[in-house]
Amino acid sequence: MKYLPLVLAAILALPLTTSAGTQIAGEYIEARTCDVYTGPCFANGEMGLSGREAVMAWRVEQGGWNGVGLVGLSVAVVANSENTMGDTGVFKMKAGKITSVILIDEKATTEQRAALEAFVRETAKVYTQYVRLVKPVALKLENDHLAGKGVFVAGDVAKIETRALGKGDCVCTNEMVYYQPLNKVSDFSPAYSKTLSYTGDGLANQWTTHGQRSAFLATFRR
């Protein structure tokens, strides 16, 4: 028994790794051009009119894809649909054709860029069926889950900046997480989008919005 403290100390000193069966894990952020935290009446008023655009981003903190290490690198998908994207958990919107742009961390090697693209095409299959452009760009993704603060910047072409939802963001007192995140994630929480923008090429339109309850901060693990 006298060796138990030494054994515990050795275990605690081991580096963190992905759990059994997990290839890759990290941070996730998304924002859309419709409220995701809202009341049903407001959501019904936006259907078919808003929520056709979205920016989704992943930052790898553990592991990799297809045997390629990706720690510290990011990748993003910018999507544009014919109709409102989303899933209420009961009803799935009929978004129609979705075109997209993939933004890949410019710090990645050629091998890592291929792995990042393969990862995001597999993880976000619904939004990467019609990819118009794959572009390397400087990517930054930082989430503070406790503060509800998330920042994603893709060079000068895309941006998400969030803050926590507050009491003043409640409009009808019947708000809830009306839409689920667009991708399979964990530990998600809605946030207020101070800014959401895409001003790059490849899609039918560009957009900049401010002041919507339209974002999620989360983690991912596969």
Per-residue pLDDT of the chain in tens (222 residues, 90 and over written 9): 343 333 333 333 334 344 556 799 999 999 999 999 876 666 665 665 678 999 999 999 999 999 999 999 999 999 999 999 988 776 677 899 999 999 999 999 999 999 999 999 999 999 999 999 999 999 999 999 999 999 999 999 999 999 999 888 877 677 788 899 999 999 999 999 999 999 999 999 999 999 999 999 999 999
Answer yes or no: are the C-beta atoms of 145 and 187 closer than 8 Å: yes
Structural domain count of the chain: 1
* Tokens (6 digits) for 183: 């991708």
In a domain, 3, yes or no: no
Predicted pLDDT of residue 145:
97
Answer yes or no: are the C-beta atoms of 69 and 61 closer than 8 Å: no
- Expressed as residue numbers, the domain containing 208 is 22-221
Predicted pLDDT of residue 129:
97
Please tell me what DSSP assigns to residue 126: G
In a domain, 8, yes or no: no
In a domain, 92, yes or no: yes
Neighbouring C-beta atoms of residue 180, cutoff 10 Å: 17
Predicted pLDDT of residue 47:
64
Predicted pLDDT of residue 46:
66
Predicted pLDDT of residue 220:
98
In a domain, 4, yes or no: no
In a domain, 11, yes or no: no
Predicted pLDDT of residue 149:
98
What amino acid occupies position 191? A
Predicted pLDDT of residue 13:
37
How far is it, in rounded angstroms, from Cα 193 to Cα 198?
14
In a domain, 10, yes or no: no
Q: What is the pTM of this model?
A: 0.88
Please tell me what DSSP assigns to residue 18: P
Predicted pLDDT of residue 39:
63
Predicted pLDDT of residue 43:
60
CA angle, 72 then 150 then 180, to 5°: 100
In a domain, 120, yes or no: yes
Predicted pLDDT of residue 172:
67
